[in-house]
Structure 1
Amino acid sequence: MGASQSKNDATPMVFVNEDNAVPVRISSSFVNQVTQAQPNAGSPQDIENQVRERVQAELAKIQAEKSSAVDTTFVNYKSSTNANAVVTEQDMDHLAKHAPTKHVKILPEEITKAQDALVQCYKKNQERSLDCWAEVQEFKDLVQKAQNAFIASA
């Protein structure tokens, strides 16, 4: 096993490290073996063509993956949008059915007139609002009268 390594087939190459001055010897068979192990790359044009082909193949692969990812995202978005629309519509129907209805009661005409008179008095006497005490008292009496009538009817 080790016999072929210690044979000198040809003159050995000697390298000397200038710092340590220790000779390093490499046999010509080792050099031949290393040079034969390297593949012949070919001309620079061939190498450039190979690189371009590989780059184009990788770009096509990446673009195909990207396209499929976009399609998947669009399908997921479309289905989630439809699902959200259905849920929103159901929520709106539920709220419309169960929302409290606002009953607008029409006030008696005498209360509306007293309210208007009070507002007019406040507009005339912006700096002296206490001058409207008579209109306030009349409005309060009419509202109290309407409340008592409502309670008696219930």
Structure 2
Amino acid sequence: MGSSQSKGDAPPMVFVNEDNAVPVRISSAFVNQLNQAQPNAGSPQDIENQVRERVQAELAKIQAEKTAAVDTTFVDYKSSTNANANVTEQDMDHLAKHAPAKHVKVLPEEITKAQDALVQCYRKNPDRSLDCWAEVQEFRDLVQKAQNAFIATA
């Protein structure tokens, strides 16, 4: 009964997905149906001409969009540059008017000399910084003395 339907003229095509080992079978009748459903496109030369025409039209469209985008970007860049410059200038003026004045206090000469001696010692002994313990102690003592004097006057 069904034996005549399962037998075809050609053996069925079998496709196997390597990731999933489930075979997919396509009958020759299905392949024939697909072949009949395709319209006759014409000669290969006609197809090639159609493809060339479509490619040329697409290229022209892309070129027109690109030109329009460059023109728009240039106009936007000029206006945004001027606007950004104005905003930046206004921000700088505002900061200059409202920024607190920085009071720089000059360190006593003895602390500055001790600091210079400490830095010089560290530069002389980059691998042996513990050799500078005497300079560190002197600098720390002078800073502590200056802090105590400041607290006493406050």
TM-score bracket, normalised by the shorter chain, equals 0.3 to 0.5
TM-score under structure 2 normalisation? Answer: 0.43
TM-score under structure 1 normalisation? Answer: 0.43
Q: Which protein is bigger by CA-based radius of gyration?
A: 1
